[in-house]
Amino acid sequence: MSNTVDFIRSLDLQISDVMGLPFSYRGGTTDETVGQEIFDYGKYKLELENFQPKLIVDCGANIGYSTIFFANEYPDAQIFAIEPDKTNFKFLQYNTIFYDNIKLANSAVWSWETSLRVEENENGESGYTVVETGADDSNAIKSTTLSKILAESGAEKIDLLKIDINGAEKEVFSANNVDEWLSRVKVLAVVLHDDLKEDCSFAFFKAISNYKWKFSTQGNVLIFVRAE
């Protein structure tokens, strides 16, 4: 963690107060927009009666805004936060250091375990995409799967699954074994990215059509609650 702290201090960054604790971000970047969407506009504020999640999985945690929001909204939940970009991940480590209920992984959710690399685009720090690469790629990261995360957690189900992964949802929801974990999800909060990868929405809606959901939207977030 000392290397992460040194790295953060070396950057031209801003520090604000988020939920009473210091939070570092890059001023003048999409970091500011992401923070406003989550804390000012309630992007992931769920109006669900008696909702007390035990396991939350945050796919595409970025620098930690959504992860910290969930940690404060649901303090009794175990939270797995996954972020592929190495710089974002260092911010994520730094910003969540005070939370004992958050487990981090510098990885990307995919349909199988493989080697991936992060690619930049015009969407800024929150818009990186991942593509498959060789294990010998010096910038490669290992992917993970939702089945693996669920098994590691020891939980029977994912109470809240947040997915904002810039197009990788196509691979995640088109996997042959998608029902292995999707059948055990209570609430889905998903942002689809057909602008970054074609047929993301098709893969997503095809997968979830096997189950009955209650549906709502909050901005660009699609909220699906498993119907009892």
Q: How do the domains of the chain map onto residue ranges? A: 2-226
Report the alpha-carbon distance of residue 53 to residue 85 in Å, rounded. Answer: 27
pLDDT of residue 26 exceeding 80? yes
Helix locations, 136-227, DSSP H: 146-153, 169-174, 179-182, 200-208
- Give the residue from 180, 174, 181 showing the smallest Cα distance to 204: 174
Q: What is the pLDDT of residue 19?
A: 83
Q: What is the pLDDT of residue 158?
A: 98
Confidence of residue 3 (pLDDT cuts 50, 70, 90): low
Report the alpha-carbon distance of residue 26 to residue 38 in Å, rounded. Answer: 16
* Cα-based angle 114, 115, 119 (whole degrees, multiple of 5): 130
* Token reading at 215: 């549906």
What predicted TM-score, i.e. pTM, was given to this entire model? Answer: 0.92
Q: What is the pLDDT of residue 113?
A: 95
Quick one: average pLDDT of 91-112?
96
Q: What is the pLDDT of residue 123?
A: 63
Report the alpha-carbon distance of residue 41 to residue 59 in Å, rounded. Answer: 20
**CATH of the domain spanning 2-226:** 3.40.50.150
Quick one: average pLDDT of 194-223?
96
Describe the crossing of helices 2-10 and 86-95 by its angle, rounded to 10 degrees: 110
Q: What is the pLDDT of residue 2?
A: 59
Confidence of residue 17 (pLDDT cuts 50, 70, 90): confident
Q: What is the pLDDT of residues 116-137, one digit of tens each?
A: 999 987 666 656 899 999 989 9
Average pLDDT across the chain, whole number: 91
Confidence of residue 28 (pLDDT cuts 50, 70, 90): confident
Report the alpha-carbon distance of residue 17 to residue 212 in Å, rounded. Answer: 40
144 - beta bridge partners?
109
Highest mean pLDDT out of 8-22, 33-47, 162-176 = 162-176
* Token reading at 63: 């620098």
pLDDT of residue 106 exceeding 80? yes
